[in-house]
Amino acid sequence: MRFESVRLESFAHHLPGEVLTSAELEGRLAPLYERLKLNAGRLELMSGIRERRAFPRGTRPSAIAAAAGEQALARTRIPRERVGALIHAGVCRDFLEPATASVVHERLKLSPACTVFDLSNACLGFANALCLVASMIERREIEAGLVVSGEDGGPLVEATLRALLEDPRAGRNELKRAYASLTIGAGGAAMLLAHERVAASPTRLLGGVARAATEHHVLCQGDRVEGAAGPLMETDAEALLEAGNALAARTFPLFLEELGWSRESLQRVVTHQVGVAHRRKLFETLEIDPARDFPTVESLGNIGSVSLPLSYSLAREKGFIGPSDRTGLFGIGSGLHCLMLGLG
């Protein structure tokens, strides 16, 4: 896919103040660790994540997404009434219906003419939503569109801890499959795309490539379980790492060809942040210098669909990425799906 007239007009992120360390989580798992004769420190050792953030109990995804969206709208001169689409692209939602985007739309006081809906595709939803909004702008259906997401891993972490501690049969295998759930963090992100006629930003969304390997959809699955207090997720982390990187290896050369880039001309990279081992393996597989990347996973954990846009927002905020740098946004989500987008 290629876009000729789409600009990344503004972006923002929203982080909670509460920090939850891996050591704290393992402290709560002490009875299980003692029964299984395991040493503390495994969670950080396996994931590289020393801490993640958490919102106060009861915080709605819409409130998180709206906070990021408000910041993004404050950073543009484009009036709210000219925002023609709003998509909430998170895994977390306020409720099954109506769309969480409806709540965000009301909070942001956008136009009644604005198209409003949710889009969900695990950790890749935000990137998918960017493509959809960009296509609408390219076809002149809208002048500008806002993509937001609010993720809160707190309920998943709490439900996982409870399930492990309350199950007398929980062993090393159950703990291993649950580890990925304990890496989940919290945060919000927003990106406003606009047609170059109305945009002030020089940053262009150039296009990208998407590929799927849905034969691996069983490697990471999350759902509500009967009798559980919250959602639960099971992940075969090792198999997911191998299959995800194999999919990325097939997608990357197609991405470079689509944009007319070379591996050497790619100045900066932002990835969906899963864990340190995943990051290292990805850059080895794609033969890219990891110094071009902006890692956040060690201190923020895996924030689902928010991870990629939030990491980009932080990288721009800190000056690591410039407005016109050739930047790859690389996302791999359970399913499996890979989407690589280029900014420049």
Which 3 state secondary structure label does DSSP give 14?
strand
Determine whether 92 is an active site residue.
Answer: no
Determine whether 114 is an active site residue.
Answer: no
Cβ contact 23:40 at 8 Å: yes
What residues contact residue 50 under an 8 Å CB cut-off, 6+ apart?
21, 22, 23, 44, 298, 299
**Residue 316, H or E segment:** helix 307-317
The pTM for the full model equals 0.94
The widest CA-to-CA distance across the chain, in whole angstroms, is 64
In whole angstroms, give the CA distance from residue 156 to residue 147.
Answer: 24
Tell the CATH topology of 205-343: Peroxisomal Thiolase; Chain A, domain 1 (3.40.47)
Q: Residues 92, 114, 123, 131: which is the catalytic one?
A: 123
Q: Residues 97, 215, 264, 287: which is the catalytic one?
A: 97
CB atoms within 10 A of CB 304: 28
> Domain-by-domain residue ranges, the chain?
205-343
What residues contact residue 37 under an 8 Å CB cut-off, 6+ apart?
none
Query: Which pLDDT tens digits describe the chain residue by residue (344 residues)?
Result: 999 999 999 999 999 999 999 999 999 999 999 999 999 999 999 899 999 999 999 999 999 999 999 999 999 999 999 999 999 999 999 999 999 999 999 999 999 999 999 999 999 999 999 999 999 999 999 999 999 999 999 999 999 999 999 999 999 998 988 888 899 999 999 999 999 999 999 999 999 999 999 998 987 777 765 555 556 777 777 787 788 889 999 999 999 999 999 999 999 999 998 888 888 899 999 999 999 999 999 999 999 999 999 999 999 999 999 999 999 999 998 889 999 999 99
Closest-CA residue to 104 (of 73, 74, 62): 62
CA dihedral 136, 141, 146, 149 (to 10 degrees): -50
